[in-house]
Amino acid sequence: MGKPYVLYQTDIGANKMTGNYSEEMDAVKSDLVTLKSDLANLTKSVKADAQTNAAELRENASIKLKAAQKNAMEAGTKSREKAQLTIKKNPIASIAATAGLGLIVGALMARR
């Protein structure tokens, strides 16, 4: 046997690749090792980014929850103060409204 068997011949940019089977297999193996390493690095990077994003999302959710709790407390306080003011301004009407509400609730509970 004279010449080595040529598997393929291609031009890649300025480099011209030609070679025998074992040289090209070595190149493919080298490329696969590089690809494996790049994939591992990419996986680590994506994992780190995901953890960072998850921490940011947790922090944002915590801030929004605290703001919602504060708003609910403020709304409850304002409603209570408004009810107290209404009772002070109209004590007889407040007593009548409470009595009427008591009768309605009592009637509904008696039906059960």
Report whether pLDDT(105) > 60. yes
| Residues 21-24: contacts with CB under 8 Å, at least 24 apart | none
Please give the tally of structural domains in the chain: 1
CA distance 100 to 94: 10
Q: How confident is the model at residue 103 (pLDDT cuts 50, 70, 90)?
A: very high
In a domain, 45, yes or no: yes
- The parent domain of residue 88 ranges over 6-111
Model pTM? Answer: 0.46
In DSSP terms, which residues pair with 24 in a beta bridge? none
In a domain, 82, yes or no: yes
Each residue of 9-58: pLDDT tens digit? 554 444 445 557 888 888 889 999 999 999 999 999 999 889 889 989 99
In a domain, 60, yes or no: yes
Report the chain's mean pLDDT, rounded to a whole number.
84
In a domain, 97, yes or no: yes
Note the pLDDT of residue 5. 54
In a domain, 1, yes or no: no
